[in-house]
Amino acid sequence: MALTFDDGPHPQATPELLRLLDSTGTRATFFLLGEMAEQHPSITQAIAAAGHEIAVHGYEHRLLLTRRPAETLVDLTRATAVISELTGMTPRWWRPPYGIASTAAVRAARRLGLTPVLWSCWGRDWTRRATPDSVFRTVRRGLTGGATVLLHDSDHCAAPHSWEATIGALPAILTTCRARGLDIGPLSEHGLVHL
């Protein structure tokens, strides 16, 4: 099972999440926003230093269907450059904001060597109503071999402090995966093919 996080890094959520993942020996894929990486370079570097996989979510968290092709290419190019420079890693994966990509966005991602990735289950952890239990129950239904789980390590584009529900739910999610015999890791260990 691939464990992924979107919208970070976040000054409170991401360090707390990194501590939790480290304490359980779990590695994940972080889909970073370039603007957040620039605002929090030390946290961005800490994600990479902890052995997590780095991926691109965009520079800004904007619906790509509202952008012209040239704007999309600039956004993804800028995000990839910032993230690569801060982490020393070349991202392989890209997840479009809101999970919606235009043809131009897919072409831009491919031009930058990024493979588009979505998810098979999510925790609906960005909402005001999210609780650790609601996030766990929502994710639990999709915890099967081959799943890609989407959670958030930021409230940058979500309800304030919604990330607290994610942090609260994660121990139960990890315990359930292990009880079901599922290996948990980043996308690169998930068997996805990078195009």
Q: Could you tell me whether strands 148-152 and 121-122 are parallel, antiparallel, or unpaired per DSSP bridges? A: parallel
The tally of CA atoms less than 13 A away on the side-chain side of residue 190 is: 26
Instruction: Give the sign of the dihedral formed by CA 75, CA 58, CA 111, CA 118.
Output: negative
Report whether 4 contacts 31 (CB < 8 A).
yes
Q: Find the catalytic residue in 6, 7, 75, 153.
A: 6
Using alpha carbons only, what angle is made at residue 11 by residues 26 and 66, rounded to the nearest 5 degrees? 95
Q: Find the catalytic residue in 10, 40, 152, 156.
A: 152
Catalytic: 152? yes
Catalytic: 40? no
Q: Which residues are known to be catalytic?
A: 6, 152
